[in-house]
Amino acid sequence: MSLPENFNGWEHLQKTYMLEYNRRVDKFFSDVQGNGDLSNVRSSLKLACRLVDGDNEATWSLRTSLFFDVIGYSRKNLSIFYGSNIDTALPVAGHPQLFLYFSQDSQAVPLNGKRLDHEKSCRLTRYACKSGQSLPAVTKANLLDIAHEIKAQFVSGGKGIIYTAGKLSVSYTDPANGFPKGTRWLVNSKSEAIELYGKLCNVIDRPFDINKMNVNTPEKDSTTQVINTTDTILGKQYKQYAYRPVANLRFRYAYVSFGGSASPIFLIDTTFRNTALIA
């Protein structure tokens, strides 16, 4: 089919680019209603990122640079290193490792405060990382099942569930079922830890045993998230960190790591920054 006589290639390119670009902006800011406003940080960012008819070349460049470079959308799916390259082998080494990441909503971070986050992991002891071992190697179908279970347990209404972090340090030790010694969850109540560990056990299809849980309650109280006190080290001043502040953390994404040089596989990502097995 031939192009119309009055076809303008540059105008067609602009309209196509704008349509596809704004579609990605809308997906990234899916938690924001409409095209954005000035009511909160994310809504304001969406308003600043979306291309609109009438933008001049400078505005076009600033909007796309803000979205792709500053916010970092263009860096998704790049090779990212997780963990430390001097980690020693754990008793559950050889099994894929499942990570769940949680963080504060940006609008909940106090002025001059630090955004809090937490990452929790366990091992998929039903599977091996690679073939040739006594257990079956994990397959894409296995990971899809786990991804759907994560969505059922940790996502509600299209958003990650929220738990309240605090000063209680709760560990769960069951190496045979994927929980080696040394991991912990900082929570504000024991009941919340029971619910979170129960959900994680459901995800990996392992039994939850409350007798394998250990709760440590420090005498020191949680401090506020914003600390004005500073320490002087080698002549430089550094702000002190808040001690286990009480804050709401939301589930963001989950991925599986296989160790070595293999890239992690994202199972689900509510931030849309990484290509995941399920939406």
Distance CA 60, CA 20 (A): 14
Reduced to 3 states (helix: H, G, I; strand: E, B; else coil), residue 1 is coil
User: In terms of C-beta density within 10 A (0-12 exposed, 13-18 middle, 19 or more buried), how is residue 203 classed?
Assistant: buried
pLDDT of residue 188: 95
Q: What pTM does this model have?
A: 0.67
Cα–Cα distance for residue pair 51/20, rounded to 1 Å: 10
Q: Provide the residue type at 240 as one letter.
A: Q
Give domain limits for the chain.
Answer: 9-75, 97-269
Instruction: Map residue 222 onto helix, strand or coil.
Output: coil
- Whether pLDDT at 199 is above 50: yes
CB proximity list for 251: less than 8 A, separation 6 or greater:
100, 101, 102, 154, 155, 160, 161, 162, 270
Report yes or no: 103 and 114 within 8 Å, Cβ to Cβ: no
Cα torsion for 22, 26, 28, 33, to the nearest 10°? Answer: 150
Segment 120-144, tens digit of pLDDT: 999 999 999 877 677 888 999 999 9
Count helices and strands (H / E) in the chain: 5, 12
pLDDT in tens, 57-79: 888 888 888 887 777 776 665 44
Q: What is the pLDDT of residues 254-269, one digit of tens each?
A: 999 998 778 899 999 9
Residue of 136, 137, 105, 125 lying closest to 201 (CA atoms):
125
